[in-house]
């Protein structure tokens, strides 16, 4: 299905609505002033500012068991038809940033296939229900994407389930904090690279032949792409690779009319953090050292993925958009 080209007025209206959609829970219902203008929200206190309680789950962890649960925009995101008729595949779409993007894409009019690790099925079921509640097609694709065969099968299943593919979000990631390189095993290093950079390479390679001009690939990079955390040596190395992969692939695919961009999050409250993403005893410090004084929530990133996926960002390719609470690049 071809996306309708909106007028300038529609574009501006959609942009405003898209930003408003990421407002704090409840704002979409009662967040307008008497004059009908949007209510101002202090970003420092929009979400939890208190330290998170120490907790741990076996990898890959479930968002539904986190304390407190992350906000993926379940009650706050309101769409405006900016991705009407698009067909999206999102890896790591069961929770965290991928879940927030999946909810937003569906409410903007896209059909969505989500990939997730098989043990994350409980979280994935919730996302599928939310996509269908938005009136869009949902395709659930559990798979361990650390092999070439799994990546190729994933794309084939997404194309078959959606009837095509024009949006790809490479978001799934593996993160483990280790104080020293001596603590990082070969197996862990291998798993980090296979999940974080081999999979986006393989999935993109399989997806591109199905993508027409106007299609978009969005990769999830990180502040660690620019300023690596000393305890995240393996993870940061892959995120640096994703940054260059994004910029290099964008130069190649511009010749086909396909845009490639990335979002670079800072500390975001997702299952990665409770499944080994933070050193033991350090979870209470998560996000506290940002200028905003808190960690971010997945819902705060969803509008960035929508913007990069939409035709409104048609002149943006090879671009990296930051969301880091004031600490980091770009």
Catalytic machinery residues: 235
Q: Among candidates 283, 274, 286, which has minimal Cα distance to 56? A: 274
- Residue 155 CA to residue 152 CA, distance in Å, equals 5
CB environment 177-187: b (16+ within 10 A), e (fewer): bbeeeeebeee
- Residue 328 CA to residue 50 CA, distance in Å, equals 21
Tokens of 59: 């990898």
- Residue 1 CA to residue 87 CA, distance in Å, equals 9
- Residue 213 CA to residue 197 CA, distance in Å, equals 24
- Residue 81 CA to residue 105 CA, distance in Å, equals 9
Beta-carbon count within 10 A of 203 CB: 26
Q: Among candidates 213, 95, 202, which has minimal Cα distance to 156? A: 202
Q: Among candidates 237, 253, 214, 260, which has minimal Cα distance to 85? A: 214
Cite the beta strand spans of 36-177 per DSSP E.
Answer: 87-91, 111-116, 138-142, 167-170
- Residue 72 CA to residue 96 CA, distance in Å, equals 7
């Amino acid at each position: 299905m071809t996306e309708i080209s909106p007028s300038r007025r529609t574009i501006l209206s959609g942009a405003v609505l898209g930003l408003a959609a990421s407002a704090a829970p409840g704002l979409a219902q009662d967040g307008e002033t008497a004059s009908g203008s949007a209510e101002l929200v202090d970003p420092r206190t929009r979400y939890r500012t208190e330290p998170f309680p120490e907790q741990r789950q076996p990898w890959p962890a479930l968002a539904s068991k986190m304390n407190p649960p992350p906000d993926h925009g379940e009650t706050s995101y309101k769409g405006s038809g900016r991705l009407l008729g698009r067909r999206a595949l999102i890896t790591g779409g069961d929770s965290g940033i991928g879940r927030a993007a999946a909810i937003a894409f569906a409410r903007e009019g896209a059909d969505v296939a989500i990939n997730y690790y098989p043990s994350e099925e409980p979280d994935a079921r919730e996302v599928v229900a939310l996509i269908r509640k938005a009136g869009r097609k949902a395709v659930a694709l559990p798979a361990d994407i650390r092999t070439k065969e799994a990546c190729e099968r994933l794309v084939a299943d997404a194309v078959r389930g959606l009837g095509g593919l024009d949006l790809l979000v490479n978001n799934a990631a593996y993160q483990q904090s280790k104080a020293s390189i001596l603590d990082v095993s070969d197996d862990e290093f291998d798993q980090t690279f296979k999940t974080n950079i081999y999979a986006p390479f393989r999935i993109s390679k399989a997806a591109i032949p199905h993508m027409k001009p106007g299609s978009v690939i969005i990769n999830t990079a990180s502040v660690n792409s620019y300023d690596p955390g000393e305890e995240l040596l393996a993870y940061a190395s892959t995120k640096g690779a994703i940054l260059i992969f994004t910029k290099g692939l964008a130069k190649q695919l511009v010749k086909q009319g396909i845009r490639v961009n990335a979002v670079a999050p800072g500390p975001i409250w997702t299952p990665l953090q409770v499944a080994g993403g933070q050193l033991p005893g350090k979870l209470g410090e998560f996000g506290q050292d940002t200028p905003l004084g808190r960690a971010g929530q997945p819902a705060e990133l969803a509008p960035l993925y929508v913007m990069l996926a939409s035709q409104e960002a048609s002149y943006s390719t090879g671009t990296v958009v930051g969301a880091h609470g004031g600490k980091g690049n770009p």
